[in-house]
Amino acid sequence: MIRNGMMLAALALAGCTVAGPQMVARLGADPVLSGGSYSSGGGLTVAADIREQQGRVLLCGVWAQSHQQSVLTKGKARDVMGTGAVYLGDRALARGLVFMREVPPALDYAGQEAGCVLTGQVWQAGYAETKPVIRLPRQVVHVEGDLGHFVVTFQQTGPSAGAPKATE
């Protein structure tokens, strides 16, 4: 029974990871933005774009998290990113977005140095005009108490990392 559970967990994890060479490139001038919020406050912003590389789709992205958020959500962003996916049409380009680089919150993510992955999707001319779609599933990120009296959730609501930290 334990062995079956371990094999199932390994298969589930393998289905959520990105295969293919990873590299670094700068985001283009108009990356797609999305993200979400924690029910306790604060959130994430994810920026991604695609381009042609070696005849295939190169997916690049960064993510940022709020400076102000609950202690209950500290360290949870990587878990949320691990469940995310980027789609082009009805096809998933990548599942598990942990290859993306974390950056500080910004007003504009264009030109950010991003983590990239070369996907298996063959590049088509129409992709130059197509925007990828970022999906971050709703999920429970913290449960407090034996009966789950206090639950913190993450929900995709759009860019939610907030503005850059003010410098004095």
User: Cβ distance 1 to 101 under 8 Å?
Assistant: no
pLDDT digits (tens, 9 = 90+) for 82-99: 999 999 999 999 999 999
Q: Is it the case that residue 34 has pLDDT exceeding 70?
A: yes
- Whole-number pLDDT of residue 7: 40
pLDDT digits (tens, 9 = 90+) for 43-73: 999 999 999 999 999 999 999 999 988 899 9
User: Cβ distance 59 to 132 under 8 Å?
Assistant: yes
CA-closest candidate to residue 104, choices 142, 47, 153:
47
Helices (H), the chain: 2-15, 77-83
Q: DSSP code of 76?
A: -
